[in-house]
Amino acid sequence: MNLFVEGILWVLNPAHYGGVDGIDTRMGQHLLISLGVLVVASIIAIPLGYVIGHTGRGRSLAIGASGAIRALPTLGLLIIIALIVNVGLLAPFIALVVLAIPSILAGAYSGFEAVDRRAIDAARAVGMREFQIVGRVEIPLGLPLLIGGLRTASLQVIATATLADYVGGGGLGHFIFTGVKTNDYPQMLAGSIIVILLAILSEVLFSSVQRLVIPAGVTAGRPQDVRVKSPRSRTALG
């Protein structure tokens, strides 16, 4: 318990802010890495997931590939890429993109698959073309599941981005690895606490967005409790 308090005090210490290795600088690096990874992974995975979800083709291949990627040890993948492209930010960035793709891909195609087929048939019946069905029906209705995929990917990326500093990529992992090398446990715990807080913040943000993007027509169709209490007293009912 004392060690945990020391970790919190290390975070709150003004001397640990500012400069190249300040908490604010390292947190900014961590957030930029995580955001950049999510953007690049989304550019790759979302269009591919939409094609799979709309056409129904390649789903088995996508599931198998996603499972294989998730089974890869992230640290091992990071070291292999670092040996190929040299030490720096590029290696962890590529490794994190590979890690984020399966969750976003699954959210994209499962969102399309969750759309009621009757809604798609109705859209075709009124004369909508395929790109209109995708843009006006499938994307809006499948958006909550896509945000769910981004939500999972963001948690994975924020937690795993600590490995970036292992090969000189920066981020909050600097405090963890420096603490391990110097036996500075409060510093190591402080880095972990900040990463956990960022992960919680990401979870709250994406869960809020996920609720907001649910179409009004979907929520309006949900059954509600419309039972009305009897005006008669309990004694009279007896």
Of 74, 9, 2, the closest CA to residue 37 belongs to 74
pTM of the full predicted structure?
Answer: 0.85
Q: Mean per-residue pLDDT for 110-139?
A: 88
Domain ranges in the chain are: 2-218
Residue that wins the pLDDT comparison between 160 and 82: 160
Q: Mean per-residue pLDDT for 165-189?
A: 89
**Superfamily of domain 2-218 in the CATH hierarchy:** MetI-like (1.10.3720.10)
The mean of the pLDDT values for the chain is 85
Q: Mean per-residue pLDDT for 152-174?
A: 90
What is the band of 175 on the pLDDT scale with cuts at 50, 70, 90? very high
What is each CA distance from 82 to 26, 93, 228, in whole angstroms?
21, 10, 66
Percent of the chain with pLDDT over 90: 45
What is each CA distance from 117 to 15, 74, 121, 142, 189, in whole angstroms?
59, 38, 6, 12, 50
Q: pLDDT tens-digit profile of 11-67?
A: 999 999 988 889 999 999 999 999 999 999 999 999 999 999 888 888 888 888 888
List the Cα angle 211/138/68 in 5-degree steps. Answer: 85
Instruction: Identify the three-state secondary structure at position 122.
Output: helix
Q: Mean per-residue pLDDT for 101-123?
A: 90
